[in-house]
Structure 1
């Protein structure tokens, strides 16, 4: 498989011979309000033009409707006829934006030979999770490809642990910027990311969703330092830059 980190959670993935776009966030740098007063968002520009990013895309997956996962620019620029898989409950909102092929991911779904299965996530724990709203992750499986677990906007909590145990994925994509809302952790931080690596010794961890938003608390450098201090083999934790493409196998 080939995984390109565009920015934040946005990925362009070639998997099983098909091109997938995950959580498109296309807003220009500093075009959206700050979350904390530190900087307007997003804090970085897209690494390449939107038309280039969209070239060849066959399927879009939208995990939830926060603006840093499916923004107004994406709603304008993503072709309305492209099939979209989304979190149950978000389908009407996406259809209202003019998309004509929208399917809620309620159960394991086979699309063009790819098996896509929704997985539980929690955008924080306790009251902050209610403020953030529901989210999903998913797993990807296909003949001849590594099994991928895209955890999404979640902290490390029991259902994530159970997914790792049940699926034994080859690749785990984490959101590892340690973002906080009202002081509460709402995605994984460095320690939780390292804990994922410890509980899945067979897996390569790909840490994303970093350095794009002003409520993040963990940088790529911070995460690498923590991994080095913990003695983690650098080949087991990949921290791509925006625009970087990874070639991944079992």
Structure 2
């Protein structure tokens, strides 16, 4: 009997140890559009939560109401045990009312300076405005300015940010955010030499401003890949909004023409988990 008890204790200890090791492994799940869950340095980080059901938001291109697809998992599962929420900017496809309602107002947030008033109004009391960089639970988080379009449309789109995550024994991850390709982004890649670059590649356009992309499209994504060094590219922000004209299929086809392989460019489906 004593041997049986000892064996059970050993087995339980092994299971718990395995769970702790697994929880410290970096992985990413694409929820939908630009909404991501990243397990990083033992923490669950939620990125840009848009949690509205299909068709709850007005059309932005006159094609269909947004989002154009349903979530693959319950909202409760997405927000459960979240340690940190990072919001690149407060456009409705990156932070919507259902997200504000679903998240505990005590949840820690990291936000850009331009959005301080928005989150105060929404009642979040642990929202940290990140000017440059900070260390949060042994994770260094650096904010990077984005450029949400060019010319007249940029004036309408407002400020947006990207973020770089770094931690001991973890891959360096650069979350580019909503931006077109700029010299600043290329400089950030050179500076941080990231292992993974998460790119919003949907080629979103507002036709009232002359069909000018406000985020990376397939051509700009390929240009970024050419300057990405060792990094693997994870392309998201596709097939969920009516004003995004670069689809997964278009991006895959462009990559095939340029002989960019699947181990360099990863295009996850909604709900898919990627080990980093």
TM-score by length of 2: 0.88
1:85 corresponds to which of 104, 110, 128? 110
Pairs within 5 Å for 1:137-156: 137-156=162-181
Structure 1 residue ranges without an equivalent (≥5): none
- Structure with the higher fraction of residues in strand conformation: 1
CA-CA distance at 1:184 after TM superposition: 1.1
* Counterpart position of 1:106: 131
* Counterpart position of 1:37: 62
1:239 corresponds to which of 259, 267, 276? 267
1:187 corresponds to which of 207, 210, 215? 215
Runs of 4+ aligned residues of structure 1 deviating over 4 Å after TM superposition are: none
1:196 paired with 2:224, answer yes
Paired residues of 1:10 and 1:25 also in contact (CA < 8 A) = yes
CA-CA distance at 1:128 after TM superposition: 1.1
2:122 corresponds to which of 78, 97, 108? 97
* Counterpart position of 1:15: 40
- Structure with the higher fraction of residues in helix conformation: 2
* Counterpart position of 1:165: 190
* Counterpart position of 1:212: 240
* Counterpart position of 2:96: 71
CA-CA distance at 1:134 after TM superposition: 0.5
Paired residues of 2:114 and 2:159 also in contact (CA < 8 A) = no
CA distance in 2, matches of 1:204, 1:190: 16
Pairs within 5 Å for 1:109-124: 109-124=134-149
Paired residues of 2:193 and 2:229 also in contact (CA < 8 A) = no
CA distance in 2, matches of 1:89, 1:120: 11
CA-CA distance at 1:201 after TM superposition: 2.8
CA distance in 2, matches of 1:236, 1:136: 24
TM-score by length of 1: 0.98
RMSD after superposition? 0.8
Aligned residues: 248
CA distance in 1, matches of 2:185, 2:127: 26
Larger Rg: 2
CA-CA distance at 1:92 after TM superposition: 2.1
CA distance in 1, matches of 2:62, 2:117: 32
